[in-house]
Structure 1
């Protein structure tokens, strides 16, 4: 019944209707006040007690629900701290932690199972104090990288602070966190581990979304408009029930006043009466049974007053009769005369429009309606202008929704009518243009809109009349075009011509290297996202085809997928050859690796990346085996994995790895030069001349005038390998040459290269080459 007050505000005494109703409603109100005063005080007291009792019971139930959840999390983190694989990882040292990757994989699977079994947990991870590693349910990360790029918070929390003493299950605070680019508000809890140590060697972190706790105290069945929230011991709000629209400012005022007050209250539960913002409130609070949180319920007394008024009207039958008669009469009159005016006022209030034009003017109802109609006309014109200005952005959003799978054929028809986004033909195809590093240059970032115009230019100028194009920017380095083609008569030649025209235009104006991924053609708007996904999948093969390629998904979808071949024996041979400075040897091994994996096998881009990452790991192990580090050889800023990922194509990655192994080999040989270099030359010459004899450390030491133990240590220091392995490697090299060029028996060749019997020869040969001598002969003589 807001029609009457708003009519009085608008027209005051100028309306006859208002004057007639005024005296009638004065009589009704006087009757209600006279008969309702006696029952007001008592009913107010009873209802206040009932509301307080109800809210006290409600927050106790909410407290029990939250406490039960906290207890479960406490037990869960305690069990995690006792888990054997977690404990073993916590005991690893800075020197040994990187040697047991299977242990970390086992822990990742364990954390994954914990998270899957506990849907309340949004994030969980383990931070190790002895080495800079963070482990979560997805992967293992460097701690600095994890907190800078994977898991970011808006607070100044020092994650790398090492706790000297154990803490139990502890609330760390509420934070706005971004995990894997997904923002959320979370509550963070922590527990140090392992409990068997006096000092912790790591800490377990568990995140729970704030909204999940808020749901536990949400007033699903409580009719009172109470504010319910939780404070920690510092007076900070932990979580609250969802706010009704328009209550945010009031809640902030309430939070600021009550958080300060409750930090000084030592009682675990109770009741308060406070004025907040000039309005009285009833406050009920209780404390957590398992922590230091306080649960607070705040009910406005205006709610109680409203209930009291309703109760008073219910009990005073005579007053109610007068009120009902007055309401019926008011309703009949207002529904006939003032309802249109009331609706106009409602719309004005809803959209926040201020009645400034009519302020100070004396007008009746008809003049008011005339003014409002003029206002609506001009407002509609302004809205139409704003719509036209925002039309390009709306087009972009509509195309983006279609590419992401949010659009349907019905939605497309609606967009055609409402936004003028028409498609003449009935089939769709997505094309992705990867502009690469050009997007990150000043010219590229400033001229994206010009580039989009060039992409749509062939169709806009009528060069290709059998298709239409709509192009948007999806990423800084990716432009996506939605082609609209006739399904019954698809002209794929026009698609080829369009791609050639676009790449030529872009290269002529900006000279970027454009790689193009092309999805399949579909006849339904619902399948546009499939074509887009296929275009992106085709772009992944840029690493195989190289930059500047045009890759159709049909060309790569049918490839037979093989498996990369890189055995431990081959890795060991590469490491030994690099350490001994045998450049031709390790290059030959790499050539074999490229031949087996990149020429004869069809690998996915991800498999190719994994193969090169495995080679990067080989380079790191080579450096560690000679007691050095990548920083000592390449400099402090060198990160082999980042440098490798920056190489755009397969050939660039091959060149990078060969240069890396070359620098490592050169550094090892240069580092080993000195007093022992002359002795190493003598050892090599003697082995080269006498490898066919029965060589041993004793025989070699006697020939060079050195004790066997000293000879072994100096050889190990210079080469990083033991003397017997070196002799055997020379023998195997000679045997490979004989096997390739002659038809001699295995026994004869074994005797020629110095092995005492053919069984030993076969065993050592397979250890170094991965195949038996007979298999090696078949492979290489067949090749020749």
Structure 2
């Protein structure tokens, strides 16, 4: 009986409960780890298979992208102006053009990332060959310099009769038989051929280095890789032994299957028709599983042993000391003034001291939180102003809920001179301004709150009382201080009338922000107290924009400067706000920069100078805007005028011919024939010299002439269309609306009303 009671007491002891709890946790963790390991082991094989599939997908993607790239390179060469000239002049051979083509081939092959051994141009009528090392006859080329058992001269000769535009052939070893006794290997290459299926005068053969492509694109630790075409032929193989798999054995577009002791991962590409196969020996996968079993099993055994030993040791060490810790806490709860006997045991004495420190720290933290009311007010006011509702930070300021207040917003604008001459960042300057505003208001008002609500925006809340000066008087005195630094920065101060309740905070804030938009031009601090007229966006009218673009494209700097200054003077007379000047100027600058870019003149702006956008952002008076536009537009118009005055025989002929024959049937090819050049060359040359396409120039010129006819004559729209070269009136109306922005009828009506 005594032993049973003793056993019951031991079962209720802390040591026993700790030990049994640890044992239960260990058993639970062992069970969980065992199940997890079993599940994990079953999925490792799938993950390894997935890893090999992803590697094959990457290889397929790289091969397909490269084949597309080579096709584009070959087509680009096929349709180049030099090759076109040789095709047209055949059977005559222009050796100077052939030399240029050879140079282009060498430049292309020089790109190591293309993995090209050679680009061969084979002309059917003459049997003429152009390649990287020079020119030769086709029979000599394919029986001597690029000899292959699969692809002899007769094979290439018959390719002209085959029905395809481009194709790739299985890889083959090519040798150079220039010296019969010492043949030189060219390597294993994949021939990629393109031609014009409808008029096969030329073959372009891209010799792809199969070995380099394999080394660059194959993503696997195994080197067993096969590429097959739609006919089941082996395009490339890195397998030492002869592969026996056929396309019929590979179901679906992609997947894997196990044949013998190997896994075959395959992917069929619908675009190219190629099938990519990666062979992974099963021994490699099995070895990883076995190695994983050994590692995880060993770790589990070690973890169980360490866990049991640690549990026993920790339970023993926690049994008695925990009671003394509880006693120490009970002594501390008596309060800081009560005497506490310090433990003679070093560890528990340290615990007691640390608990005392925690209690003192807790009291200090509570005291510090009481001193953070200003910071909490900032978040509360911000949430109130911006109508942000939070779960635990609702408005809790009953002492100001019914007090009258005045809200003022200070918006800071830093001048370019500040960033050039000052070492400190603008955020430091904004902080110093906030501190000055806070000090100035605190000197005059018993209750005020100042905080920075945006990067360049400071907000002040003043709760005026009887006997305190009006807020506007204080702002006037602050303005005098701010104006001392107007060369570096200035402020726009928007103040609200006096409100009576805190529920109007949001309304006061929104009205103050709206007032900021009515700041007039000027580079000194300004106080805005009243709302002005709603801002009207000043954009160029249709007629003004046409006049501006016509003068700018003609290089008439004086006219465009005069027009812009006239518009800005009108805006100034209407007392337009500074923001309206900025919006108008940014829109106008965008139009000028687009014109310069179209004429390829944007590169003339010096990169080491301030950009036009930066110079424009520092304009704050009418004189500064006029100076900026006079200099910038004058310089831009000068560039345009210089380019127009630069005479060019080809473009001059085109301009002159169009001026005298705009009403006739015109085409790029017709003018190219008159100049004895190709249409493609004339199109590229005209775009390079004028900054616009030939069709855009012709249609724009015809529309401009039609505008003049519509404004200065009573001709019918159908007659105007025929006069300027459009025999279909619907085409004329569509083109006129595209370039003029209005249909012809509305344009004539608008012009008559404007007159």
Q: TM-score with structure 1 length normalisation?
A: 0.43
